[in-house]
Structure 1
Amino acid sequence: MDFREMLYITTVADCRSITAAARKLYISQPSLSHIVSKVEQDVGVKLFDRGTSPLTITYAGEKYVETARKILLMSDNLRKELIDAGLGEKGRIVFGMPTERAGYMLPAVIPEFKNQYPGIELQVMEAKSDELLKALLRDDISFYVIPRGQGDLPVGLKAEAIYRERLLLVAEKNMIREDMFLETEKDIHPADHSGIKGCLNLNAMKDLPFIMLKKGHAIRKKTDLVLRQYGIDPKIMIELSSCISAVQLAAAGLGVAIVPQRAVDALGGMARFCCYDFSVTPEFWSVNAVYKEDMYLGRAERYLIDLMKQKFIREASSAAPVPWQ
Structure 2
Amino acid sequence: MESRHFQYIRTIAETGSISRAAEKLYISQPSLSQLLKNVEKKIGAPLFDRGSQPLRLTTIGKKYLETGQHIAELETEFHRYVEDELGCAKGNLVVGSSPFRSTYFLAAFLPQFQEKYPGIRLQLAEHTSKRLEESVLSGEADLIIATQPVDTDAFAFAELYSEEMILVLPANHELSQQYHLPKDCQQTLPILPMELLKDTPFIQMHSEQKLHQQLLNICAEAGFTPKIYLQTRSMETALTLASAGLGATLLPMTLLRAFKPQTAPCYAALPTRPRRHALIAWRKKSYLSHAARAFIDALVNYCRDKGDEL
State the match for 2:124 in structure 1.
Answer: 124
- Which of 299, 307, 310 is equivalent to 1:308? 299
- Given residue 64 of structure 2, which amino acid in structure 1 is its aligned partner? Y
Instruction: Tell me how far apart the structure 1 counterparts of residues 37 and 139 of structure 2 sit (CA, whole Å).
Output: 24
State the match for 2:163 in structure 1.
Answer: 165
Contact 1:94 1:125 in 2 (8 A): yes
Contact 2:156 2:283 in 1 (8 A): yes
Instruction: Tell me how far apart the structure 2 counterparts of residues 155 and 179 of structure 1 sit (CA, whole Å).
Output: 47
Contact 2:160 2:280 in 1 (8 A): yes
SS at match of 1:200: coil
More moved, 44-53 vs 198-207: 44-53
State the match for 1:209 in structure 2.
Answer: 201
Contact 2:92 2:291 in 1 (8 A): no
1:82 pairs with 2:73: no
Normalised to the residue count of structure 1, the TM-score between the two structures is 0.83
Change in 2 beyond 3 A, CA 1:40/1:157: farther
State the match for 2:269 in structure 1.
Answer: 277
Change in 2 beyond 3 A, CA 1:178/1:262: closer
- Given residue 261 of structure 1, which amino acid in structure 2 is its aligned partner? M
Equivalences for 1:173-322 in 2 at 5 Å? Answer: 173-175=171-173, 177=175, 194-268=186-260, 274-280=266-272, 282-318=273-309
Instruction: Tell me how far apart the structure 2 counterparts of residues 313 and 90 of structure 1 sit (CA, whole Å).
Output: 25
Identity of aligned residues (%): 29
Number of equivalent positions: 307
Instruction: Tell me how far apart the structure 2 counterparts of residues 88 and 112 of structure 1 sit (CA, whole Å).
Output: 18
Change in 2 beyond 3 A, CA 1:148/1:235: same
Change in 2 beyond 3 A, CA 1:18/1:148: farther
- Given residue 56 of structure 2, which amino acid in structure 1 is its aligned partner? T
Give the 4+ runs in structure 1 shifted more than 6 A. 178-181
Name stretches of at least 5 consecutive residues in structure 1 with no aligned partner: 320-325
Instruction: Tell me how far apart the structure 1 counterparts of residues 121 and 54 of structure 2 sit (CA, whole Å).
Output: 35
Equivalences for 1:85-100 in 2 at 5 Å? Answer: 85-88=85-88, 90-100=90-100
* TM-aligned CA deviation for residue 174 of structure 1: 4.6
* TM-aligned CA deviation for residue 279 of structure 1: 2.5
SS at match of 1:262: helix
Post-superposition Cα deviations, 1:178-210, rounded to whole Å, max 9, x if no partner, equal 9997xx98xx9x9xx951321121112211121
Instruction: Tell me how far apart the structure 2 counterparts of residues 198 and 301 of structure 1 sit (CA, whole Å).
Output: 42
Change in 2 beyond 3 A, CA 1:240/1:160: same
Q: CA RMSD in A?
A: 2.9
SS at match of 1:259: strand
Change in 2 beyond 3 A, CA 1:178/1:244: closer
Instruction: Tell me how far apart the structure 2 counterparts of residues 26 and 120 of structure 1 sit (CA, whole Å).
Output: 29
* TM-aligned CA deviation for residue 277 of structure 1: 1.6
Instruction: Tell me how far apart the structure 2 counterparts of residues 20 and 38 of structure 1 sit (CA, whole Å).
Output: 19
Contact 2:170 2:176 in 1 (8 A): no
- Given residue 167 of structure 1, which amino acid in structure 2 is its aligned partner? M
* TM-aligned CA deviation for residue 19 of structure 1: 3.1
Instruction: Tell me how far apart the structure 2 counterparts of residues 44 and 155 of structure 1 sit (CA, whole Å).
Output: 37
Contact 1:197 1:274 in 2 (8 A): no
State the match for 2:44 in structure 1.
Answer: 44
Change in 2 beyond 3 A, CA 1:124/1:49: same
Instruction: Tell me how far apart the structure 2 counterparts of residues 161 and 204 of structure 1 sit (CA, whole Å).
Output: 34
State the match for 1:59 in structure 2.
Answer: 59
Contact 2:171 2:177 in 1 (8 A): no
State the match for 1:322 in structure 2.
Answer: none
* TM-aligned CA deviation for residue 163 of structure 1: 1.7
Name stretches of at least 5 consecutive residues in structure 2 with no aligned partner: none
SS at match of 1:197: coil
SS at match of 1:65: helix
Change in 2 beyond 3 A, CA 1:86/1:20: farther
